[in-house]
Amino acid sequence: MQLEFGVDGNAEFPKPSSSDNDSNFPGRLASMADLSHECGIAAVYHLTNRGTSSLTPSQGGVQASRLMSRLLVDIQNRGQLAAGMTTYHPRRNQLIDTHKNVGTVAEVFHLNHEKLSEQLASKYAGPAAIGHVRYATCGKDDRSYAQPFERHHIQKSKWFSFAFNGQLANYPELREEILTSEDFHLARETDTEILMHLISHEISAGTADLIELMKVIAPKLDGAYNIVLLNAQGEMLIARDPLGIRPLCCAQDGPLFAAASESVALSNIGFSSNQIYNLQPGEAITIQNGELRREMFVEQSHRAHCFFEWIYFANVASTLDEKSVYMVRKRLGEELAKLEAPIDDNTIVVPVPDTAKAAAASLAYELKVPWLEGLIRNRYVGRTFIEGTNRADKAKMKYTPLPEVLAGKRVLLVEDTIVRSTTMKALISQLRERGRVKEVHVRVACPPIIAPCFYGIDMSTIGELFAPRFMQGSDLSPEIEAEMAATLGADSLRYLPVSSIARCMDMDRGSICQACIDGEYPTAAGRRLYQLALDNAYENITNEAGRTYDTHLATTRT
């Protein structure tokens, strides 16, 4: 993840104590947001009079609901809290109709029950659909926050449903602006509802063209926002924010058009690589009157692709903005290998499944040491970083160490990142107790996370982050890494330097958002929230929700 603000669960910036080895921690470090990632969005449209598609049968226009569940399964990595879809059918009383609930895609769409799944697909059959998987960066964990959000209206042009992937950094200002009118009310603590209000307002004001709609609302939005919208006239909009913070891929085969947050979802329903393309930052696709149109709605000034997509969130099989996720992770492992001292024959490389596997394999190859799966992941336990609550308990359940592989070994344990350290501490403990390792040396294929994310990842306060209390505003050093390792229970710890990220992504630093590792935010609202987070940390301000947004809202209301 998606805004839906900040993080799930309570967090606070604790008053430093000597027992935490951070008694001098000034709190002026970058504030960190909770990591929970963006959500995922998808869209399907079967256009008429466009020839035939190799991907759907002759009556392919009724297949959107079936294709949607398949698309959402393949972006399930982006959110397991809730899922849903809205479909359109011109010969149905409910011209657009929405099915959504809390749960995984398989649960919400009954994919493990053939009869129920078929009944659902038939009920929501139609030529067009939009869909969403959610992980919460803000808002409650209940069905009312599941997307898509549908707005009913007797006038077809004003009856629409939409889904949103990202996070609006200026959500507090937008919310307060709306609520200055006593005639307006917001029922949820989420930027998704803010977006719905802005869209509704412009449509009611007479903005009928969907590209024009984006041109009007875009200047009001600061942050990451990928949008899919479907209305009761059968019109569709797919739009990507001007910075391209979150990925968005599209494809077309004859009459069949589809879009998804990641390319792997489009590949897995049959589109070929030459049919799949990335929507450009500031670009939108509209389908109106049966015609598909691509157009820029904002002039692009610069890009700010979130690097975390490549190192953690995205499926390793995806290609985002022409950059292979797998190849980026492979290069991260090569960079780690450059930092490694000579090793002995008793050393093995063990990845933390699954996102660290590519980096670990590359590291092992470069060092010429065995790469072994000494940890087996329980795939029925959610991603602790994204899931939000009970992370310590989930971390203990999440992996099973194999003593047959690990006992007596010097282990280079490769992880994609360390955010709060809950999982890593539990994992190292299990490696020693159950795996009977000789030594554990943690290698992180990412620089230290030292600042919050206000663009769709669930990291919103400094206090919840692991690295800031040790770094205290200074650069990373071997001494700091040694102190961190001792806190984790590891024999050593090594991070990648910040300079490695752009190099591994083969992108210019100026086209990447890496604010969470260097504190440089690409938008004005992000910079304001970061300063607020720093001020909160400096003054040891805490709040029950544990989000920088909430502190901002509390301040503006007093």
Please tell me whether residues 478 and 538 are part of one structural domain. no
Please tell me whether residues 161 and 291 are part of one structural domain. yes
Please tell me whether residues 228 and 131 are part of one structural domain. yes
Q: Residue 105 domain-assigned?
A: yes
pLDDT computed for residue 472 by the predictor: 84
Please tell me whether residues 154 and 270 are part of one structural domain. yes
Are the C-beta atoms of residues 72 and 266 closer than 8 Å to each other? no
Q: Residue 213 domain-assigned?
A: no
Q: Residue 14 domain-assigned?
A: no
The dihedral through the CA atoms of 187, 191, 196, 198 has a sign that is positive
Q: How confident is the model at residue 24 (pLDDT cuts 50, 70, 90)?
A: very low
- In percent, the amount of the chain with pLDDT more than 70 equals 84
Please tell me whether residues 71 and 155 are part of one structural domain. yes
DSSP string across 211-248: HHHHHHHGGG--EEEEEEEEETTS-EEEE--TT--S--
pLDDT computed for residue 299 by the predictor: 86
Q: Which helix (H) or strand (E) holds 86?
A: strand 82-88
507-536: average pLDDT = 95
- Residue 44 CA to residue 71 CA, distance in Å, equals 9
pLDDT computed for residue 5 by the predictor: 25
Residue 439 has pLDDT above 50, yes or no: yes
The CATH code of the domain that includes 270 is 3.60.20.10
Q: Residue 33 domain-assigned?
A: no
Q: How confident is the model at residue 113 (pLDDT cuts 50, 70, 90)?
A: very high
- Domain hosting 541: range is 524-558
Residue 542 has pLDDT above 60, yes or no: no
Please tell me whether residues 290 and 395 are part of one structural domain. no
Please tell me whether residues 326 and 449 are part of one structural domain. yes
- Residue 355 CA to residue 444 CA, distance in Å, equals 12
Q: Residue 509 domain-assigned?
A: yes
- In this prediction the pTM is 0.86
Please tell me whether residues 262 and 316 are part of one structural domain. no
Is pLDDT larger for residue 55 or for residue 126?
A: 126
- Which of 256, 274, 299 corresponds to the end of one domain? 299
pLDDT-wise least confident of 189-193, 408-412, 440-444? 189-193
- Which of 252, 278, 299 corresponds to the end of one domain? 299
Q: How confident is the model at residue 2 (pLDDT cuts 50, 70, 90)?
A: very low
Is 446 in the active site?
no
Please tell me whether residues 516 and 535 are part of one structural domain. no
Please tell me whether residues 155 and 295 are part of one structural domain. yes
520-546: average pLDDT = 79
Q: Residue 205 domain-assigned?
A: no
Q: How many domains does the chain have?
A: 3
Q: Which helix (H) or strand (E) holds 101?
A: strand 96-102
The CATH code of the domain that includes 392 is 3.40.50.2020
Please tell me whether residues 498 and 392 are part of one structural domain. yes
- Residue 13 CA to residue 7 CA, distance in Å, equals 14
Q: Residue 8 domain-assigned?
A: no
Please tell me whether residues 272 and 361 are part of one structural domain. no
- Give the tens place of pLDDT for each residue, 252-311: 999 999 999 999 999 999 999 999 999 999 999 999 988 999 999 998 889 999 999 999
- In percent, the amount of the chain with pLDDT more than 90 equals 72
Residue 390 has pLDDT above 60, yes or no: no
**Catalytic choice (39, 249, 306, 453):** 39
- Residue 144 CA to residue 61 CA, distance in Å, equals 29
- Give the tens place of pLDDT for each residue, 175-224: 999 999 888 889 888 899 999 999 999 999 999 899 999 999 999 999 99
3-state secondary structure of 303: coil
Residue 360 has pLDDT above 50, yes or no: yes
Residue 55 has pLDDT above 70, yes or no: no
Q: Residue 183 domain-assigned?
A: no
- Which of 264, 299, 334 corresponds to the end of one domain? 299
pLDDT computed for residue 60 by the predictor: 42
pLDDT computed for residue 152 by the predictor: 94
14-19: average pLDDT = 30
